[in-house]
Amino acid sequence: MAVHAAARGRTPNDVITATGLVKVYRQGTAEVRALDEVSVRVQRARFTAVVGPSGSGKSTLMHCVAGLDTVTSGSVVLDGTEIAGLSDRQLTRVRRERIGFVFQSFNLLPQLTAYENIVLPVTLSGGRPDRELVDHLCEVLGIAHRMTHRPAELSGGQQQRVAVARALVARPAVVFADEPTGNLDSRAGAEVLTMLRRSVDDLGQSVVMVTHDPAAAHYADRVLTLADGRVVKDEHTAPSGRAAALTTDATGRRP
Ligand SMILES: Nc1ncnc2c1ncn2[C@@H]1O[C@H](COP(=O)(O)OP(=O)(O)OP(=O)(O)O)[C@@H](O)[C@H]1O
Ligand SMILES: [Mg+2]
pTM for this model (two decimals): 0.88
3-state secondary structure 19-68: EEEEEEEEECCEEEEEEEEEEEEEECCCEEEEECCCCCCHHHHHHHHCCC
**Residue environment code for 35-48, b if the CB has 16+ CB neighbours within 10 A, otherwise e:** bbebebebebebbb
If you measure from the C-alpha of residue 96 to the centroid of ligand 1, how many angstroms do you get, rounded to a whole number? 24
Ligand 1 pocket check for 52: Cβ under 6 Å: yes
pLDDT tens-digit readout, 123-178: 888 889 899 999 988 988 889 999 999 999 999 999 999 999 999 998 999 999 99
What are the distances in angstroms from CA 65 to CA 7, 28, 208, 212?
Answer: 20, 26, 10, 19
Q: Which amino acid residue places its CA nearest to atom 7 of ligand 1?
A: 25
What are the distances in angstroms from CA 154 to CA 136, 146, 183, 185?
Answer: 20, 8, 14, 15
Q: Which amino acid residue places its CA nearest to atom 12 of ligand 1?
A: 34
Ligand 1 pocket check for 27: Cβ under 6 Å: yes
pLDDT tens-digit readout, 203-245: 999 999 999 888 899 999 999 999 999 999 999 985 434 544 4
pLDDT tens-digit readout, 70-112: 999 999 999 999 999 899 999 999 998 899 999 999 999 999 9
Helix or strand (DSSP H, E) at 133: helix 131-140
Ligand 1 pocket check for 63: Cβ under 6 Å: no
Ligand nearest the Cα atom of residue 50 = 1
Neighbours of 170 (CB within 10 A): 23
Q: Which amino acid residue places its CA nearest to atom 28 of ligand 1?
A: 55
- The closest of 98, 63, 95 to 79, measured between CA atoms, is 98
- CA dihedral sign, ordered 74, 79, 80, 84: negative
Q: Which amino acid residue places its CA nearest to atom 25 of ligand 1?
A: 54
Ligand 1 pocket check for 56: Cβ under 6 Å: yes
Spatial distance between the Cα atoms of 199 and 193, rounded to a whole number of angstroms: 10
- CA dihedral sign, ordered 196, 197, 198, 203: positive
